[in-house]
Amino acid sequence: MLYRRLGRTGLTVSEISYGAARGASEDRENFIAVVRAAIDAGINFIDTAGGYDGGESERALGEALRGRDDVLVETKYCPYESYAVGAAYVGTPEALVASAEESLRRLRRDRIDVFLGHGIRTLDTLDRFMTDGCYEAMVRLRDQGKVRFIGISELSEGDGTHEVLREAVPTGAFDVVMVTLNMLLQTAADTVLPLCAEHDVGTVVMMPLNQASRVSGLVSVGAALECVRRHVAAGNLPDEPPYTSPDLFDFLKPYSIPEAALRFVLAHDVSTCCVGTRSVERLKENLRAVDPPYLDEARLTRLRELFGGIQKQVL
């Protein structure tokens, strides 16, 4: 495993981190086994949230990480009624503090390493989060030692050009941001990442496999082609070759689609690439991406030429 600096936090994090959004309630034993295999492989940063699997993600992590204070945990509070793009903002400082306290109990920890406002999706609700007491509550938790570092994550399904993070990062209010970057949504590379470098903000990349889905995620050639088809149908890509060709992704060989996708992210100036998996075998495949220089310039250039103009995420 190789490691990078998480911005001004000074923390050193594994290039591949583990996304624990799914699997805990479906097969707890397997979830714990995969998490422990990830740690054994050198992964030292795990992302979760109070709302993942109805809290089961944090509960299972509390068991999996018992005695492993060397592993860093990032968790989140969602100030919306759901994860849907148009969900109403319902954040309050009281709910934020209660969420953090409950996360601490479920994780069986004395402090949260990184605590994020989850899925901030519009400039209006970013302003509300910053002025309604929620941000101040995060700062108090940090001052009390219950949280080490604070930040926000975006909701790229509704903010493909990252307006929220472009506004938030220069304020200096946040130590860490969670941002979407993948082969089919590259906009952060020219917008958010330079700002984070300038302001020394840690960058945790989410959705490197495009919200990994069996039908449209970057998990296989067929699924990747289906995602491109959806972009074509949405008018984000032209309905013509090479986008309509079955050999569109042949230039990435010998890498598989998931490995190429992870290598694409790691070729950028990011702190860590967060990816979830439900099997030890897929975990091992993902870890093959930790191999500088990740992707050669010819493949990177071709990916930018093909997909660099996409400004909306399609799931």
Half-sphere exposure of 165 (CA within 13 A, CB side): 37
What tens digit of pLDDT does each residue of 189-248 get? 999 999 999 999 999 999 999 976 767 789 999 999 999 999 999 999 999 999 999 999
How far apart are alpha carbons 17 and 265 in whole angstroms?
Answer: 12
Q: Is the pLDDT score of 172 beyond 90?
A: yes
Contact 178, 116 (CB under 8 A): yes
Closest by CA to 51, choosing from 130, 153, 164, 171, is 153
When pLDDT is averaged across residues 276-298 and rounded to a whole number, the result is 95
CB neighbourhood size of 27 (10 A):
13
What tens digit of pLDDT does each residue of 145-162 get? 999 999 999 999 999 999
Q: Name the percent of the chain lying above pLDDT 90.
A: 93
Full set of structural domains in the chain with CATH: 14-307 (3.20.20.100)
Closest by CA to 122, choosing from 161, 177, 149, is 161
DSSP E strands: which ranges in the chain?
3-5, 12-14, 16-19, 45-47, 72-77, 112-120, 147-154, 176-180, 202-206, 272-275
How far apart are alpha carbons 189 and 312 in whole angstroms?
Answer: 14
When pLDDT is averaged across residues 117-122 and rounded to a whole number, the result is 97
What tens digit of pLDDT does each residue of 60-72 get? 999 999 989 899 9
Closest by CA to 213, choosing from 165, 260, 129, 276, is 276
How far apart are alpha carbons 177 and 265 in whole angstroms?
Answer: 15
pLDDT band at 297 (very low <50, low <70, confident <90, very high): very high
